[in-house]
C-alpha cells in the first residue's frame, strides 16, 4: 500500500487535484503524523482536535486551520474510508479586497513589456481571465481563433472551460501557431522548453515597476485575472457572465468583483477596449 503520503497522492491524482493542492495536503498530513506519533489505525478524533487546537494556540489563521482539517478529512475519509471528522468552530481571517488595476494601468503594464512573445502571453492572460498555470498549459489545439474562443483543459478542480479570445490578439496568435503542430504548447522558450510560472510572475512584476504603477509590488499574475473580471462588470456584463468566464462554481464567488466596479461567446474581452 505504501506510505500514507503515497496513498494520499494516488487518490488525489486519481481525482485530478492540482499538484499544488496535493503538495499542500501531503505537507499537512506528514506534519500531523510526525506530531501524533501513532500508527494510522490508532488515530482518533481526539488526536485531530488536539492537533488543530495546537495550531490555533500558536495563533495560526483560520484559513490555515481549515486547510489542515480538509487535508486530514480527505485522507481519512477518501483513502481509509474512516469517518473521523470533527466539528471545530473558529474565526476565519477576513478576506482582503483584491488588488485591481485600472484599464489604463493594464494598458501601461502590457506596453512596457519589450519582448513580443512575453507581451502576447500577458495580453492573453488578462484578455481571457486566465490563471498563469492555465496560460502555460495551453496547446495549439485548444484554440479556435476564428471563432474567438479557446478551451482550458483540466483547469482548477480538474474542470474544462471555455475562454474568449480578444479580436486584437487574433493576428498575433495566428502568426504564433502557423508553424506549430496541434499538440505543441502554445508558448515555448527560445530553447523550446515550457515556461515556468516564476518566469511569468517576474515579467509582470518587472513591467509593473517600469510602468510606475502605484504599489507595484502588490501586482501579481492573478491581479490581471481580478482586473479582467472587474472590467467585465464595469462594461455591464452580468455576474453570471463573469462566473462562466472565470470558471467559478457559484455566482457568490463572482459577486466579489461587483464591489470594484449570456452568451459566453458574445462576451467582448475588456482587452479590446484598452
257 classed as catalytic: yes
User: Which member of 55, 226, 231, 248 is catalytic?
Assistant: 248
220 classed as catalytic: no
Dist CA 109 CA 151 (whole Å): 26
User: Which member of 225, 226, 231, 237 is catalytic?
Assistant: 225
Residue 269 near residue 166, CB atoms below 8 Å: yes
User: Which member of 118, 156, 226, 231 is catalytic?
Assistant: 156
156 classed as catalytic: yes
Label the pairing between strands 161-164 and 143-144: unpaired
**DSSP structural state of residue 79:** I
Facing residues of 185 across strands?
139
User: Which member of 103, 168, 170, 222 is catalytic?
Assistant: 222
Cell of 138: 495551453
Cell of 103: 484599464
**What crossing angle do the helices spanning 116-128 and 103-111 adopt, rounded to 10°?**
160
Q: Which of 262, 274, 226, 231 is nearest to 246 (CA)?
A: 226
CA dihedral 107, 110, 113, 118 (to 10 degrees): -160
195 classed as catalytic: no
Residue 69 near residue 88, CB atoms below 8 Å: yes
Dist CA 169 CA 93 (whole Å): 39
31 classed as catalytic: no
Question: What is the layout of strands, in order, in the sheet containing 143-144?
Answer: 143-144, 149-152, 161-164
206 classed as catalytic: no
Residue 54 near residue 5, CB atoms below 8 Å: no
User: Which member of 55, 118, 131, 226 is catalytic?
Assistant: 131
**DSSP structural state of residue 38:** S
Dist CA 30 CA 32 (whole Å): 5
Active site residues: 131, 156, 222, 225, 248, 257
Amino acid at each position: 500500500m505504501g506510505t500514507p503520503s503515497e496513498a494520499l497522492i494516488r487518490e488525489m491524482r486519481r481525482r485530478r487535484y492540482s499538484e499544488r493542492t496535493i503538495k499542500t495536503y501531503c505537507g499537512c498530513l506528514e506534519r500531523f503524523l510526525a506530531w501524533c506519533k501513532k500508527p494510522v489505525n490508532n488515530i482518533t478524533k481526539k488526536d485531530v482536535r488536539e492537533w488543530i487546537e495546537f495550531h490555533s494556540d500558536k495563533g495560526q489563521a483560520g484559513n490555515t486551520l481549515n486547510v489542515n482539517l480538509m487535508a486530514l478529512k480527505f485522507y481519512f475519509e477518501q483513502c481509509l474510508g474512516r469517518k473521523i471528522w470533527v466539528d471545530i468552530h473558529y474565526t476565519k481571517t477576513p478576506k482582503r479586497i483584491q488588488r485591481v488595476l485600472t484599464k489604463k494601468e493594464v494598458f501601461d503594464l502590457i506596453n512596457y513589456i519589450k519582448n513580443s512573445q512575453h507581451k502576447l502571453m500577458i495580453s492573453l492572460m488578462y484578455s481571457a481571465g486566465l490563471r498563469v498555470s492555465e496560460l502555460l498549459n495551453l496547446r495549439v489545439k485548444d484554440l479556435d481563433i476564428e471563432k474567438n474562443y479557446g478551451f482550458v483543459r483540466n483547469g482548477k478542480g480538474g474542470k474544462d472551460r471555455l475562454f474568449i479570445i480578444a479580436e486584437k490578439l487574433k493576428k498575433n496568435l495566428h502568426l504564433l501557431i502557423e508553424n506549430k503542430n496541434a499538440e505543441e504548447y502554445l508558448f515555448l522558450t527560445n530553447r523550446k522548453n515550457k515556461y515556468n510560472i516564476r518566469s511569468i510572475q517576474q515579467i509582470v512584476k518587472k513591467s509593473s515597476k517600469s510602468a510606475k504603477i502605484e504599489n507595484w509590488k502588490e501586482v501579481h499574475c492573478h491581479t490581471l485575472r481580478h482586473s479582467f473580471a472587474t472590467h467585465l462588470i464595469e462594461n455591464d456584463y452580468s455576474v453570471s457572465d463573469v462566473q462562466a468566464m472565470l470558471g467559478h462554481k457559484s455566482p457568490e464567488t463572482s459577486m466579489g468583483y461587483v464591489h470594484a466596479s449570456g452568451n459566453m461567446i458574445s462576451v467582448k474581452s475588456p482587452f479590446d477596449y484598452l
